[in-house]
Amino acid sequence: MADISYIQDGKATTFKQQLSLAAKLALPAILAQLSSIIMQYIDASMVGRLGTEPAAAIGLVSTSLWLFWGICSAITMGFSVLVSHRVGAKDYTSARDILRQSITATLVFSVIITAIGLLIAEPLPRWLGGNPEITGQASRYFMVFVSALPMLSLNYLAGGMLRCAGNMKVPSMLNIMMCLLDVVFNYLLIFETRPVEWFGMNFTMPGAGLGVTGAALGTVIAEVITAASMLYFLCFREKGLALKGTNGSFKPVKSLIKKALGISAPMTIEHGVICGAQVMITVIVAPLGPVAIAANAFAITAESLCYMPGYGIGDAATTLVGQSHGANNPYLVKRFGYITVGLGMVVMTLMGVILYITAPLMMEIMTPVIEIRALGAEVLRIEAWAEPMFAASIVAYGVFVGRGDTIVPACMNFGSIWLVRVPLAAWLATYYSGGEPSAAGLKGVWLAMAIELTFRGLIFLVRLSRLERSAHEQR
């Protein structure tokens, strides 16, 4: 059976071996992504038991948090891609040099982003149009998460480095561990001390009773433990990249930072403008009321179970294409591009069918409020139709990142969400709510999302179809 070394050694592979290798790398990445989403699902269901307002408080700032998380994640990708190219060329000394410098650069950048987040934490919920009843809880939730960005950024960096080196197992296992830790810490921090019954036994369960703030703290503690574990495996155990017993400087070199930023900057800017658009969607949803805000937040979490397998396959695509590019093999770049995108579309089509069928059950698990359940299930069924094309855009983007090709795909994402989704959502929200703000307007917002995702998938497939020619031109 073929493994990642076949790419580095330039060995010939059949289509079956290529598909097997893609699946082998994708499965652990999918499990890692699913574990992360299950963690969010657990968070949402626990907070949902506290009522509409706590759920709305989290939903109000969730897109802003994605903006901060995503910027920190995107800035690490340039370093990861450079490492995958060096590993593909079997230049492990250079790969370790990149790793050392990336740790320092990531810490400096994330501390700056954290400072910005802390400065805006208090007024942010008001800027987003939140009601006074939820703005205080939303500010505290945002502040706790932003404070942990340096460790979270190192977690992104370490996980990306391991995956680009072909190690999908360790990040997957550690993300599953993070999910389990999150359940434990949330259970202890969200709810107050209370009597419980397990398997016929009655006892008192201790609890901090911190509500929304407890949900943030529980997740952050789990993420910090995971980040420390990820860094340990990367720096002390990973073959070829382990820093133990090797020499080198952690001081960033201008030429390397410039090269990494050449890859990361378009992704960072792209993520910023995309999340900016998602924040704008939150501004459109906020006037529709707490029920719409909560239903929107819960539906986003539920839908994540469908599209996160696509991101897992996209991670595998970045690794396979990145190492094929580093090994100077345009043929494999094209082949792995087609294979991973096709695999992603098949998997997410199946997930879309499951989402459509189980939408009411998924919402029932997360909240006892009937109005939120009904509205959330309805918008999920709208979104389910867009999953195949959403998969095409996610995985194709991973293919382009593996080649270090990020500027044009970033512009495609930017244009699609700002020129299609945002104006369409504003119009359809008003149309579905009958001209006056009401929860029914959320259906228009999600219809706009489904239309835009379908359009985005189509334009990414068009660009992917030109991959063979562009791969040769780049060489």
Residue-wise pLDDT for 236-264, tens only, equals 988 889 988 888 889 989 888 888 888 78
Q: What is the pLDDT of residue 59?
A: 77
Q: What is the pLDDT of residue 268?
A: 76
Alpha helices in 89-148 (DSSP H): 92-120, 124-127, 132-147
Q: Would you say 380 and 364 are in contact if contact means Cβ atoms under 8 Å apart?
A: no
What is each CA distance from 65 to 62, 142, 263, 346, 374, in whole angstroms? 5, 7, 23, 30, 26
* 61, HSE (Cβ side, Cα atoms, 13 Å): 33
Q: Would you say 308 and 351 are in contact if contact means Cβ atoms under 8 Å apart?
A: no
Q: Would you say 394 and 345 are in contact if contact means Cβ atoms under 8 Å apart?
A: no
For the ranges 8-12, 72-76, 177-181, 323-327, the lowest mean pLDDT is seen at 8-12
C-alpha angle 80-85-88 in degrees, rounded to nearest 5: 120
What is each CA distance from 201 to 159, 197, 204, in whole angstroms? 41, 5, 10
pTM of the predicted protein model: 0.69
Q: Tell me: pLDDT of 452 over 90.
A: yes
What is each CA distance from 238 to 104, 160, 243, 256, 321, in whole angstroms? 19, 13, 9, 22, 21
Radius of gyration of the CA atoms of the chain, in A: 22
Residue 207 banded pLDDT, cuts 50, 70, 90: confident
